[in-house]
Amino acid sequence: MSEQNAQNSWPLWEVFIRSRQGLDHKHVGSLHAADAAMAIENARDVYTRRMEGVSIWVVESKHMHASNPDDAPMLYDPANDKIYRHPTFYDLPDELKHI
């Protein structure tokens, strides 16, 4: 198996990193790796060199499903003018103001 073939047959992985002060993992990029263990190590080597993060998630790109940007008007515009869905139309009692 030539090196070229080997590289093409390694799956692509999406990488998410949580920073030290963060609460959620953010997408930082993608890389090739043969398996999950290698993907995490590669992500550590490539995406945490400058203390960008303290936690790594990797997912094979083929398992990521994304919405179609062409569908955006249909999916998201209708919510723009339905303000009654926001929880802001009642007065909070004083006792609850500092939850």
Partner 1 sequence: MSTNNYDDNYKLDNQSTGSPVHWPTNHLIPYTLHLADNSLILGHRNSEWCGHGPILEQDIALTNIALDLVGQARYLYQYAAKLINENPEATHFSFDVEAVTEDTLAYFRDNRQFKNCLLVEQPNGDWAQTVLRQFLFSAYQFPLYNALQKSTDKELAAIAEKAIKEVSYHLRWSGEWIIRMGDGTAESHHRLTQAFDELWMYTGELFIPSEEEKSLLANGISADLREVKEFWMGKVEQVFTNANLPLSHIRDQKATVFQKGGKEGKHSEWLGYILAEMQFVQRAYPGCEW
Near partner 1 by CB under 8 A: residue from 7, 67, 80, 88: 7
**Which positions from 64 to 93 touch partner 1 by CB under 8 A, shown as an x/- string?**
------------------------------
Distance from C-alpha of 10 to C-alpha of 6, rounded to nearest angstrom: 7
Closest distance between partner 1 and the C-beta of residue 17, in Å?
15
Q: CB-side exposure of 37: number of CA atoms within 13 Å?
A: 0
Residue 49: both structure tokens together = 């060199």
Q: Which of 18, 38, 57, 60 binds partner 1 (CB under 8 A)?
A: 38
Which residue number, 54 or 72, has a Cβ lying nearer to partner 1?
Answer: 54
Binding flag, residue 41, partner 1 (CB under 8 A): yes
Side-chain half-sphere CA neighbours of 20 within 13 A = 4
